[in-house]
Chain A
Amino acid sequence: MEIAYYPGCSLHASTAFYDVQCRDVMGRLGFDLKEIRDWNCCGATSAAKTNDFLAVALPARNLGIADASGYAEMMIPCASCYSRTLLAHKTLEGDKDLRDRVNAELSEKVQGKIKLLSILDVLVRKVKSGEIAARAEKKLAGLKPACYYGCLQTRYPMDVEIGDSVENPQGMEMVCGALGAEAIEWGYKTDCCGASASVNDNDLSVRLMSNIMKDAVVRGANCFVTTCPMCQLNLDAYEQKIGERYGISERLPVYFITELIGISMGIGAAELQIDRHFVESIELLKGLNLI
């Protein structure tokens, strides 16, 4: 089944391996991802912090392109891109004036047709149909992930219906269950890692991440799993610093959900590019005989 696909800037740069994994894993789950033509940056949190028109207009151009593409649905794996694009869709739906003003600048107008799906919307569908469990050649026994959703997977600055609990989401836990991994219960699954602050206010971000790490460790997690490129980069790149500064000796690999699904499908770690993590992430899988 062909669906439209919006990778976003991170999946073409610092988390390009997430794009590789999405195409491979989704392909095997029956989704032929069709990258929409000439997409632009969604503006992420930066546009929202600079100008309200731009914050809607940048993702709107992508909505127009998606509407013109002829596909009914579009998957957006990055939590930030998905969040900003969904917000643009909702805002334009409710504000005809703004929609006209935005569409005046676009060759492909926003029509509001395309249905936006987060990566978890797609994966949970496949959990419920039994396909994830059926394709899990290798059950991920021994893997105890702390499912980390971060901020943007479930929280919005306006009323938006998401298909999961806001404070205690379960999407990743459902996928883990189907894969035979034992997702732990913990209290920091939607707590902020600091996001852009890891670059512009690093001490603050490292402190926020230390709280996340401490809880995951004390609850017995042996890894993190996430769907957001920013979350993955932050926890992964700074885990050493967090550990050294806050006296945490454990190192938890930070996997993308697609990496866990890929491993259980029997795809190799090198093919999934799991060797591109800062925190060594292959030994744990070898030790549990998962690869």
Chain B
Amino acid sequence: MNNLLVWKCVACYTCGTRCPNNIHTARITEALKHMIKEQHLEPMVPKVANFHSAFLTSTSHFGRVNEMEFMGIYEMKNAKNELTKGGGVKAIVDELKAQMGLGKAMMKLKRIHFSIDRIKGMSEIKRLFSTAKK
């Protein structure tokens, strides 16, 4: 699990599609990501783990990903990592500057939506999340 491939692989599935032995390496890196999370191990690239965790957290709140909330949770997790183990305040500031630059551009382009889109079937979503943990 101490392999950077686990964190560089984005699961484009090219490997398994082309492998003459039908080995889906991307499924292996996915499984390793699951195991690392289940065992509460430190991911080699925390940002990647934080991204996916934040995405699902937002889904568990509204049933649909709220992009603003998702990015907010992602950056808070990153900030926590940088303060305790990583690049400190400078890294946090650099990251936020980059994302805010993108956010500003998206706002100008009317590609940021501020409404909260919460589904009615939240109890089912919560049940799915809790069953998944078992």
Interface residues of A (CB under 8 A from B): 9, 12-17, 38-41, 43-54, 57-58, 61, 101-102, 105-107, 151-152, 155-158, 166, 190, 192, 194-197, 199-202, 204, 237, 273, 275-278
Q: Give B residues with C-beta under 8 Å from A.
A: 8, 10-14, 16-17, 24, 26-27, 30, 33-34, 37, 45, 47-48, 50-53, 55-56, 59, 63-67, 74, 98-99, 102, 105-106, 109-113, 117, 119-121, 124-125, 127-129, 131-133
The reply to whether A155 and B34 contact each other, CB–CB distance below 8 Å, is: no
Chain A positions within 8 Å of B111 at CB level: 13-17, 276
> Which of B10, B27, B113, B124 interacts with A106 by CB under 8 Å?
B124
22 cross-chain CB contacts under 8 A: A9-B64, A13-B111, A13-B112, A14-B113, A39-B119, A40-B59, A40-B63, A43-B56, A48-B11, A51-B133, A54-B128, A106-B124, A151-B13, A156-B17, A157-B13, A190-B14, A195-B12, A196-B51, A197-B48, A200-B45, A237-B106, A275-B109
Say whether, besides A57-B131, A105-B127, A192 and B10 are in contact (CB < 8 Å).
Answer: yes
Residues of A within 8 A of B106 (CB): 14, 237
* A5→B31 CA distance, assembly (Å): 31
The interface residues of chain A lying within 8 Å CB-to-CB of B14 are 151, 155, 190, 192
Interface of B is mostly: helix
A151-B30 in contact given A14-B111, A40-B63, A201-B45 (Cβ < 8 Å) = no
Contact partners of A166 in chain B: CB under 8 A: 17
Q: Contact at B113–A50, with CB atoms within 8 Å?
A: no
Q: How far apart sit A155 and B121, CA to CA, in the bound complex (Å)?
A: 31
A160–chain B nearest beta-carbon distance, Å:
11
Contact of B52 among A46, A157, A237, A276 (CB under 8 A): A46
Across chains A and B, which 8 residue pairs bring their CB atoms closest together, nearest first? A192-B12, A46-B55, A155-B13, A46-B52, A54-B132, A151-B12, A200-B47, A40-B63
**Which of B52, B63, B109, B110 sits near A41, CB closer than 8 Å?**
B63
For the complex, give the distance between the alpha carbons of A275 and B125 in Å.
36
